[in-house]
Amino acid sequence: MNKQPPKGSEARKRKDPPGSGNSSSNPSGGQQNNARTQKRAKLQDARQIRTQPSDAALKDGELDLQAFLSAREFEIRALESSMRKSKAASTTRAFQKVPRGMRRRTASHNVKRVPKRLRARAVKEMAEDNTPTVDARKRRPRTTRARIRAETGKKLRLLAERKRKRKAKQSAGAEAEGNKEDAADAASKPTAHTRAPKPKIRRNLPNEPPKPKSKFRKRQIDKTWLPTHLWHAKRARMTAPKDPLWRFAIPLTPNDKCYRPTHRATGDKGAVVWDMSYMSTIGLYGSEEGIGRVLVALGLPKHLFTDKKHQKWRSGLRKQSGMLSKERKGVRRDIGPATIIWNPETTQEAATEGQAKTPRRPQRQVFLRVHPSCFFELFNELTVLVKAQTPQCYVEDLRFEIGSIELVGPSSTEALLSILHTYHTKADAEEQHAKVFRSLVGVTNPASLPPGALLSFSIMDPRLRSPPKRVQADLEDVDVSETLAKWPVTENIKSYGLFDRTARFEAGVLPSQKSLDRRKGAATPGTELGITARDPPIPIILFASRPASGGQAQGSWTLMAPWKCILPIWYNLVKVPLSSGGNPRLGGLNELRQVAFEQAVPWFPGDYLGTDAGAEWELEQRAKRKADWERRPKGKRVAWESLDLGAGRKGEVGDGLACDFEHLFGLPKDALPEKGDEELAILESDTEADSMDVDAAKDTNGKTKTKTKTKEKVIRHISHESLSQIHRMSSSAFSTLCKAENPTTSPSSPPYQTITVALTFTGRGVAGPCARIYRLPTQNPIVVLPSTQAEVSATPSQPGDGGASSLPSDLRDQWLGRLNNCTAPSTNTPYPPPHRIPADADMATRKKLVAESILNPTGGPLPWAWETAQTKGNKVDIGGQHPLCPGEEDLIGFVTTGAFCLADGKGRAVGSIAVDKAMEGITFAKEKGKPSEGRLCVIRNAGESVGWLARWEVI
């Protein structure tokens, strides 16, 4: 029998190379071994030089000259061929020499995508291989405005060239005439040296951002660039030019893939750095008592200003972090977290050494470092509070006076030690804080330092020690444990230079890079540049922070310096050669959120819905999610109204694109005002224009678009007003509430309180933003047999309507049963498998079974038909494997941040839950004698019907 040739995909398969054997014997590594074998054979064949033995040229002992010459010719050709093959066999192109993270897709045919040191080689390779290259396009202006600008630029260049040539000709003529006397007179004439004026800092008023250069001025009309903007713009994805974030152009994430590298750099080895200059700094000045009253009015506890335990903080040797709040109508509402630093008073010993005169009335200075999203809210509150003090205090806006850099990772201390060189002209004049900092060699976790540790000293220009070198110190000479235990920073305390406006201004007047290059060229090669009178000291404040989650989580370093000194520090920081290999990694806003998420720490403002900044962030995210959802075709986006939650429930609970706390608390969300208010009232009939109506879209007056935008603004305003009624309860207050005998909120407490929680899955499951958080059912629902009526909406019936739930009566027990065996699918169903008519039954058997069912004394329907109706359509579970999600009456909150956590190896989330409903679940569990069940919850992603069991903890 003839064998038929293969058809279809079998005929198109590549045949195995000869000698490779059967690859099916080793399916996992056969393909890789074949490729390696082929490459090795290719290299060996290229390096082998074929030769002919000399005996072939001898005939009867006589030399055959022609055969001998032919043999030698063959060997020479074989040698040349081997040289060509070996060169081509192991060749690597120029663009392959670039690190993988820096490669570009067009590097193989565009030499401008290759580093300068490899461009000559790339051009040569492209010429040899006849690679089609990319020519520089001719930038011809396409518009009238572009043409005028191009012509103007050309004229200006010609005028500048003529002026330069004229000056060169005049100077050459003067030298030729030998007019040395005129040159001497000109040199002896006094010249006017101008310096940049000090920036004006207004009291109790916000300050304007620094005036940018003329060529960058138009790009910063509605936003401000960070000091390192030009460096970041080439290496990271920035915020949209017309959509800045918190009035700044902020880097969002690096261009290369960095999720896993960031996780490794922050925990295992390496470091991640962020330019945090967008963080706002506010200066508070006045008497110590007045400043204390202002800070107490902002929500700080009173014991911080009376206990001896916090004396070091009031002395300026520690920093303090806490949540600031304001009082409105007898109710306190959070503003945002802040870091508070006091400027220490100069001690008597330090004053004697510096011969400084102490003022009659000592004035204290405080820095408040807050997030830019809540800056204006806090600044306005401070302005009101300081004017009510006697003697009066005042505040200053130092946003553009002080910048900051943040570092996280085991090598963060090493990176700082490599670039921060203390500024001192004498060996014995080094500051005490600088000595302590230099003794931190070997510290791999800033969290090991004392809580709130703070150092302040002056450093030299990092460019004087450029490029930075790896720290090499003898650990035997430095006792890190003794330094961490004693922390000797209380000797000769002086006021911090960063609080001095003159010191900040002088530090910003740094020498140019060209002048430093000239000094390096004049110095002996290999020698370090010394400090001159033109090199000002740079005052810095360096403090360590530890995550609130505790444990072995990595701490962070925060470096505060003058705004204009951030760029030279940054240039050297990203070039530090770490002992673990590589350089510090770049981090953006997404990486900052990732680190906070992996440490189970809420990120401000995204995880703080009980603040105005958090509400504004939530509304912006809703708009982005809605735009992404509307951009998708109808067949590829979630249909919220058709979501099947089981037990006859249809539709998503609330808005699937939002953390819908308005729906949870019953607050107005998108209700439009009545027609009486002409400024806000919008007729829905006028705005509900069909999206396919081309005429409406091309309205010349633009009335439809204007009304739609106005309606969106009104809805956004109403949503913000509703979210502003939600308040956040602190973790300490919630702990006190749980320990109370009668755990109910007091009448004086603000309504609509939420608490921020960390959610850990007991087994499988990953939650995303806007996921719904349910408590375990706290009441036994009534079982209702399914009917043939239309399925109802997921929105529960109003009280008093007599509506009953169709959820299983043992739904709580089903979820508790999955606590011990979360990874295995649920197999216990409340109904036995249906008794169907066998498929192979003959007609007589079928008639007999039908007759028995008809003669059934109960008179019910067919057994198999009734059981099939019960198990069909997610009536008792989801797909036969997952229990149903609890009802809407058990909805307690929403997830604000959630993903797969690389630190835990499973899902994790951060969310907010309603305090009243959470306490009801805890009380119900205590009454049953199982208080641990009160913190169990079910998390369901928006648009999905499957829930996952998790446990929540207050953070």
In this structure, the answer to whether residues 538 and 565 fall within a common structural domain is: yes
Choose between 329 and 10: higher pLDDT: 329
Maximum Cα–Cα distance across the chain: 134
Q: Quick check: helix, strand or coil at residue 455?
A: strand
Pairing of strands 936-940, 727-728: unpaired
**What does the pLDDT read at residue 93?**
77
In this structure, the answer to whether residues 629 and 640 fall within a common structural domain is: yes
- 3-state SS, 1-12, equals CCCCCCCCHHHH
Q: Which of 899, 352, 275, 826 is nearest to 571 (CA)?
A: 275
Distance in angstroms (rounded) separating the CA atoms of residues 949 and 813:
12
In this structure, the answer to whether residues 776 and 865 fall within a common structural domain is: yes
CA atoms within 13 A on the CB side of 305: 16
Which residues, 6+ apart, have CB-to-CB distance to 782 below 8 Å? 804, 805, 809
> Tokens at residue 920, please?
């009801």
Residue 412: exposed, middle, or buried by beta-carbon count in 10 A (0-12, 13-18, 19+)? buried
For residue range 744-793, what is the model confidence (pLDDT) as tens digits?
766 668 889 999 999 999 999 999 999 999 999 987 554 443 433 334 44
Which of 129, 149, 177 marks a domain boundary?
129
Choose between 153 and 324: higher pLDDT: 324
Choose between 125 and 358: higher pLDDT: 125
Distance in angstroms (rounded) separating the CA atoms of residues 535 and 531:
6
Q: Is residue 866 part of a domain?
A: yes
| Structural contact between residues 305 and 281, judged by C-beta atoms closer than 8 angstroms | no
Q: Is residue 246 part of a domain?
A: no
DSSP character at residue 335:
E
Residue 811 host element (H or E)? helix 811-820
Task: For residue 317, give its domain range.
Answer: 280-348+365-400
Distance in angstroms (rounded) separating the CA atoms of residues 883 and 865:
23
- 3-state SS, 531-579, equals CCCCCCCEEEEEEEECCCCCCCCCCEEEEEEEHHHHHHHHHHHCCCCCC
For residue range 867-915, what is the model confidence (pLDDT) as tens digits?
443 444 566 777 778 899 999 999 999 999 999 999 999 999 999 999 9
Lowest-confidence region among 187-201, 240-254, 394-408, 558-572: 187-201
Mean pLDDT of 639-656: 92
Query: The domain spanning residue 375 has which CATH number?
Result: 3.30.70.1400
Distance in angstroms (rounded) separating the CA atoms of residues 78 and 73:
9
In this structure, the answer to whether residues 939 and 832 fall within a common structural domain is: yes
Which residue has tokens 């349910």? Answer: 774
In this structure, the answer to whether residues 690 and 796 fall within a common structural domain is: no
Mean pLDDT of 3-30: 46
In this structure, the answer to whether residues 689 and 745 fall within a common structural domain is: no
Q: Is residue 24 part of a domain?
A: no
> Tokens at residue 10, please?
């079998």
Q: Is residue 66 part of a domain?
A: no
For residue range 63-117, what is the model confidence (pLDDT) as tens digits?
888 888 888 888 898 888 888 777 666 667 787 777 766 666 666 677 877 888 8
Mean pLDDT of 360-382: 93
**What does the pLDDT read at residue 116?**
87
Q: Is residue 323 part of a domain?
A: yes
Residue 737 host element (H or E)? helix 731-739
**What does the pLDDT read at residue 477?**
62
Choose between 71 and 673: higher pLDDT: 71
In this structure, the answer to whether residues 676 and 754 fall within a common structural domain is: no
**Nearest-5° Cα angle at 603, 602 to 609:** 80
**What does the pLDDT read at residue 95?**
76
In this structure, the answer to whether residues 576 and 668 fall within a common structural domain is: no
Lowest-confidence region among 168-177, 283-292, 936-945: 168-177
For residue range 573-604, what is the model confidence (pLDDT) as tens digits?
999 999 998 999 999 999 999 999 999 999 99
Q: Is residue 219 part of a domain?
A: no
Q: Is residue 215 part of a domain?
A: no
| Structural contact between residues 462 and 468, judged by C-beta atoms closer than 8 angstroms | yes
Task: Compute the mean pLDDT over every residue in the chain, rounded to the nearest whole number.
Answer: 82
In this structure, the answer to whether residues 269 and 312 fall within a common structural domain is: no
Which of 104, 129, 154 marks a domain boundary?
129
Q: Which residues of 498-531 are buried (b: 16+ CB within 10 A; e: fewer)?
A: bbeeebbbbbbebbeeeebeebbeeeeeeeebee
In this structure, the answer to whether residues 482 and 524 fall within a common structural domain is: yes
Choose between 512 and 176: higher pLDDT: 512
**What does the pLDDT read at residue 57?**
74
Q: Is 702 left (phi over 0), alpha (psi -120 to 50) or beta?
A: left
How many domains in the chain? 5
**What does the pLDDT read at residue 694?**
38
| Structural contact between residues 17 and 38, judged by C-beta atoms closer than 8 angstroms | yes
Choose between 480 and 714: higher pLDDT: 480
Mean pLDDT of 224-240: 95
Distance in angstroms (rounded) separating the CA atoms of residues 621 and 688:
24
Res. 182 pLDDT band, cuts 50 70 90: low
- 3-state SS, 839-859, equals CCCCHHHHHHHHHHHHCCCCC
Which of 675, 702, 727 marks a domain boundary?
727
Does residue 633 surpass a pLDDT of 80? yes
In this structure, the answer to whether residues 431 and 391 fall within a common structural domain is: no
Q: Is residue 152 part of a domain?
A: no
- The 10 Å Cβ neighbour count of residue 350 is 17
In this structure, the answer to whether residues 670 and 785 fall within a common structural domain is: no
Provide the strand spans (E) within 573-710: 585-586, 644-646, 649-650
Does residue 663 surpass a pLDDT of 60? yes
